[in-house]
Structure 1
C-alpha cells in the first residue's frame, strides 16, 4: 500500500530544480505563473493543503488563518523574513511556521556594499549619462563622489547580515560602529574591530553611512523616524537592504529633497512594490527592486531549506528552522 504523501501548495514560481524535487517528494501544486496569489486564492490553498509554501509577497493574517482547513499544519516560508505571517495566531491554531535563515547572508551583504559604493561614487548618474549619449569626455570636476575608506559605517542590526557587512566594509577601510538589541561577544566585536553604541541616537549623529540590517518587528517599525533621521550629518548616506518599514520613508524623502541627507541606497520600501514617486526623481538616490538576495545560488539554497523543513515535518519531527513568536 503506497504511503500517502503530504499535500503541498506553492504560491510562487521557484527555481526549476526545487520544484522538481518537491514533485518527487510530495503531492505538490506548483504555480503556473509568477503572479502573486490573491487573498481568496491563498485562503483556498490554506483550506486544501497540509503545507503552504508562501513568499514575502503573501500576507497571511489572523483572519485568513481562521479560515484555514484542519489539514494545514505547516507554513514553510520561502525566505528568512516572516513579518508577512501572523506567527502568533498560527501557533495558537496549531500551525507551525518555518523559514530559511542564513542562506542570503553573503548575497545581501554584497548588495549592501554595492549600494554604498553606488551612492557615494555616483555610479547611477555616470551610467545614465553614458546610456543617454550625452557624455562629452572626462573632466577634473565631473561626478565627484567621496571615498569610503576612513569613513564611519553605522550598522543597525548586527546579526548574520550585519556582521557580514562589517567584514566587507573593514576590507574597504571603513570604521565599524553598530547598534543592536544585544552587544556582541567580546571576541566577535574584537575580530570586527567594531564599536558598540547602546544609544542609537548617539551612533546616528556620528556616522557617515548608516546601513539598516535589522528585521521588521513592532519594535523596529520606523526605528529611523523623522526625529532620528534629523540627527544624521548632512553628508551622511542611508542604505537599506532589510525591510522598508524600518525607515520613515516620507521623512527620508523630504530630507533628501531638502539636501539634509546626502544620499540613499534602497533595495526595500515601506510600500513594498509601491515606490514613492518623489524618490524616483532624486539623482542622489539609488533604487533597486528588492535584489539583495537575488542570486541563483541563494534561491536554490532557500528552496533546499524549505524542502528540509517539510521533509523533517513529514517524518514527524520539528522543522529545523521553526519560527516561534518569542523569536520575533
Structure 2
C-alpha cells in the first residue's frame, strides 16, 4: 500500500481471488494480508488504523474498541452472510457502513447441508473409515445400517432462505414430511407448496427424524440447542448444523452422541473453530467438515465479488447493494 496514494485505503484481511483484487485495486489503495491465517487482534488493529475500509471474512472481530482505535474507518464489507463477528450497532453509531453477502450462497449451502444430512443418516464417513482401515471382511445384515431419509420427517430450525432451500430438497426430492420452527411463520402459500407445518421448538425436536439447524448466531441463539433440547429428540434421530458454531452446545452434543438419544450428527460449524471439541473428534457417529458449506468455486467467487461491489459502491458515492445499516449512507463519506 502506497501511503502517498490519495485513493481510499482498504485492508483486505485474507487471501482472496485475484480477479477481485484487480477490481478493487483499480480505484482503491489496498493493503492485502495475503494469507489464510487470520490476523491477530493486535495486528488487525495496527493495520486497520490507517484505513478507510475493510474487506473481511468470518472471523475478524470488529467491535467498539477496534472502531475507537481506527477512527478513519468508514466501511466494513464482509464476503460472508453471517456477521456475528461485527458489532453492527457500534458501527452504526460511528457512521461505519457494514455489508454482508446474502443470497449468492443460498443454494450452494443448501446442497451441502443436504449432502451432510445424507452422509450422516447413512453413515457414509463411518463406513468409509471402516473400509479404509481394512476392517471389511464380510457382509452382515446390519453392517452400517443407518436411517432412511426418503419419507422421513425433516425438521428445520430456522426457515430463512437457506432453510427453505433445504426444505425444497427434502420435500420435492425425497418425499419427506416437513416440520419447522421459526420466529415467524412462512406465508400460507409457501407452507402449502412445501407441505410445511409450523410447530413450537419442543414439538420440532420431538418429531424430527432429521433436524437441520440454519439459524443465525446471536446472543439469543447461543446454545439454542443444548442438553435439555437434545434430550427431547427422538431416539435414533440425526442432527445437522450448518448455521454457526455456538448455536449448538458442542459438549452436550458429544454426550448425546455417546449416550443417546442421537444416532448421529453432521457438523460444518463449531464453537471456537477451528478448534473442535475433543468429544466430537473422538465420536465415530459424527460427520465433521471444516466450515465449507458455501465452498464451491463459483459461489465463493460470487461472495467475494459482492463484498467488492459494496466497497466500490460506497467509496464512489453510490449505494452498496447489501448494506446492513443504510442509515449511515446519509452521512458525509
Normalised to the residue count of structure 2, the TM-score between the two structures is 0.93
Other-structure match for 1:9: 11
Residue 168 of structure 1: aligned partner: 169
Query: Aligned residue for 1:249?
Result: 250
Structure 1 stretches of at least 4 aligned residues deviating more than 6 Å after TM superposition: none
| Displacement after TM superposition at 1:325 (Å) | 10
For residue 46 of structure 1, report the CA deviation from its aligned partner.
2.3
CA-to-aligned-CA distance 1:72-106 (integer Å, 9 cap, x gap) = 10001121111011111111111111111111111
What corresponds to 1:25 in structure 2?
Answer: 27
Contact 2:239 2:265 in 1 (8 A): yes
> 1:159 corresponds to which residue?
160
C-alpha contact (below 8 Å) 2:74/2:97 kept by paired residues: yes
- Measure, in 1, the Cα distance between the counterparts of 2:58 and 2:105: 14
SS in 1 for 2:253: helix
Deviation per residue, 1:105-149 (Å, 9 max, x gap): 111111111111111111012211222233224433311112111
Contact 2:11 2:47 in 1 (8 A): yes
Which runs of 5 or more residues in structure 1 are unaligned?
none
Consecutive unaligned residues in structure 2, runs of 5 or more: 328-333
- My pick for the range that moved more, 94-103 or 217-226, is 217-226
The residue number in structure 1 matching 2:330 is none
TM-score (norm 1): 0.94
Tell me, yes or no, if the aligned pair for 1:45 and 1:52 is still in contact at 8 Å.
no
2:153–2:179 Cα contact (<8 Å) kept: yes
Deviation at 1:4, TM superposition (A): 4.3
Q: Secondary structure at the match of 1:227?
A: helix
Distance 1:319 1:34 in 2: 26
**How far apart, in 2, do the equivalents of 1:108 and 1:138 lie?**
35
SS at match of 2:220: coil
Q: Answer whether contact 1:88 1:325 (CA < 8 A) is retained.
A: no
| Residue 40 (structure 1) shift | 1.2
